[in-house]
């Protein structure tokens, strides 16, 4: 009889251990499922972030392209301004030279508006004035 009682006691003990291990396994399975759901959410978030990063990189590239375009335009404007400044300085220099020699300039003016030519300047004088105008590309 002792053996039967020992076996029943052992059976009850093993049954209790089995139930505990089954409960632990169920708990572990629930944790695994929770972790799998979390991993799935994180993967989706990673994909969203990758997509946002791609869009941000595209916007950055577009911004760099626009900056380069604006810089080229600015460089062209600076070059044009410098060219116009050189032309202006040249014309100012010519004007100063003409003002320093008033006899020649006065003779040209008086010839242009003399009583023999009451209609105004001759075509040669118009051509000279055109040369003094700024050349804008």
- pLDDT averages per 10-residue partition of the chain, 137 residues: 88 97 97 97 98 98 98 98 97 93 57 55 49 53
User: Cβ neighbours of residue 117 under 8 Å, at least 6 residues apart?
Assistant: 111
Task: Check residue 83 and report its DSSP letter.
Answer: H
Q: Return the CA Rg of the chain.
A: 49
Beta carbons of 109 and 120 less than 8 angstroms apart: no
- Res 115: pLDDT: 56
Six token digits for residue 56 = 């941000």
Beta carbons of 90 and 133 less than 8 angstroms apart: no
CA gap 125, 42 in Å, rounded: 84
- Res 101: pLDDT: 83
Closest alpha carbon to 134 in 83, 74, 77: 83
Report which secondary-structure segment, H or E, holds 118.
none
């Amino acid at each position: 009889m002792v053996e039967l009682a020992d076996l029943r006691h052992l059976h009850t003990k093993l049954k209790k251990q089995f139930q505990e291990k089954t409960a632990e396994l169920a708990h572990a399975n629930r944790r695994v499922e929770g972790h799998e759901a979390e991993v799935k959410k994180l993967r989706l978030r990673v994909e969203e972030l990758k997509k946002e990063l791609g869009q941000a990189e595209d916007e950055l590239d577009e911004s760099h392209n626009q900056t380069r375009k604006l810089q080229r335009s600015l460089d062209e404007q600076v070059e044009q301004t410098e060219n116009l400044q050189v032309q202006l300085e040249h014309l100012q220099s010519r004007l100063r030279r003409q003002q320093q020699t008033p006899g020649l300039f006065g003779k040209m003016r008086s010839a242009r508006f003399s009583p023999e030519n009451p209609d105004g300047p001759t075509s040669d004088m118009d051509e000279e004035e055109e040369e003094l105008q700024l050349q804008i590309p």
